[in-house]
Copies of this chain bind each other. A is one copy, B any other.
Amino acid sequence: MATKSFLTSFLLFSLSPLTGRYAMVVCGDIAVYATGNARSTGGAGAVAMLVGPNSPLVLERGLRGTHMENVYDFYKPDLASEYPVVDGKLSIQCYLRALDRCYAFYRKKIQNQWKQAGIERQFTLDDFQFMIFHTPFCKLVQKSVARLVFNDFLSAKTDEQNNRYKGLEAFRDLKLEDTYFNKEVEKAFQKASLDVFNQKTKSSLNLSTLNGNMYTSSLYGCLASLLSQHTPQQLAGARIGAFSYGSGLAASLFSIRVSQDASPGSPLDKLVSSVSDLPKRLASRKRMSPEEFSEVMSQREKYSHEVNFSPPGDTNSLFPGTWYLERVDELYRRKYARRPL
């Protein structure tokens, strides 16, 4: 939904002179899991984005690669529980397949645009200065970068395969759809793509590493993370590839072009400044033991459908200005209060 709102807002502004207007896209989620392996990947977060004219980040038009399937990879069927049902293996396969398909569509579209401009060549990851991903857990993103390099490798000409992808020739005849769980491919291409990962993607994972999964806002959290880890000069003119994924599933790969102007006071400079305090804000969080977290989760389970109650918990520990649930009355009506700023 975040990506849908984001893309629709961009589309509206690119099509029409909606003078003086802005759209605001707010995406947020709480990723919690039942006790077990997945619980430690959870997290929570929200991202708010202003979409409008003169933006230092511009969606590139006509280049969206989209793939959808009706699949039960991750879903919340038990409405009495906050926890999802996850088919972990299927979910990873779905994610990687969607990535393959979206990348193929994206490349086809950009190569067509280039062709019309008289340029006849293959699109590769080299053409993205940065690449951000929906991030259920960071390891999957590293695998995804490897996967895209594997895609590039399979579409490369034989001589290029021999020169540029030295030592990978053995994988030449494999098919994408047969290799979702091929450990050799994974290992070889993770190694071959390590520099690419470090240069183009790693900085976007800083937030996910420290904060866990954010579901809906995941990709846009990665964008904020990327911006917070670079200077305007490092970002200026870059094309950022972005892969959005929602279970169920709907996925899109699109690209964002960063403006050239990185001078002090430029829109890009202001945007980068606005997220520069991200590491500091993350560092200001309160550390809690897994036991305390489990206790909070048990309370959450217990109270999630309660009426006529006020949630327990010390509101003094909340950041200044935080809105919190004060009371749920007998008709489930929720009343919120705010910590003083």
Residue positions of A touching B, CB distance < 8 A: 8, 11-12, 15-16, 72, 75, 77-80, 85, 87, 305, 331-333
Contacts and interface: CB of A to CB of B under 8 A. Distances in A.
B12 A80 contact: no
A85 B12 contact: no
Nearest to A79: B79
Contact of A332 (B12, B16, B85, B333): B85
Given A8-B8, A85-B332, A80 B79 contact: yes
Contacts of A79: 79-80, 305
Contact of A305 (B11, B72, B75, B78): B78
Given A78-B305, A305-B78, A331 B11 contact: no
Contacts of A87: 331
Contact of A331 (B8, B15, B72): B72
A339 B18 CA distance: 48
Contacts of A8: 8
Copies assembled: 2
Nearest to A75: B332
Nearest to A333: B72
Contacts of A75: 332
A305 B80 contact: yes
Nearest to A77: B332
A211 B305 CA distance: 33
A129 to B, nearest CB: 29
13 contacts: A8-B8, A11-B12, A15-B16, A16-B16, A72-B331, A75-B332, A78-B305, A78-B332, A79-B79, A79-B305, A80-B80, A85-B331, A87-B331
Contacts of A332: 75, 77-78, 85
Given A75-B332, A85-B331, 4 more contacts: A12-B12, A79-B79, A80-B80, A85-B332
A72 B331 CA distance: 9
A337 to B, nearest CB: 15
A80 B16 CA distance: 44
Q: Which 5 A-B pairs have the closest CB atoms?
A: A77-B332, A79-B79, A15-B15, A15-B16, A72-B333
Contacts of A80: 79-80, 305
A331 B79 CA distance: 13
Contacts of A77: 331-332
A198 B85 CA distance: 53
Contacts of A12: 11-12, 15
A8 B9 CA distance: 10
A332 B77 CA distance: 6
A310 to B, nearest CB: 16
Nearest to A14: B16
A331 B71 CA distance: 13
A249 to B, nearest CB: 14
A16 B62 CA distance: 13
A169 to B, nearest CB: 42
Contacts of A85: 331-332
Contacts of A78: 305, 332
A80 B305 CA distance: 9
Contacts of A305: 78-80
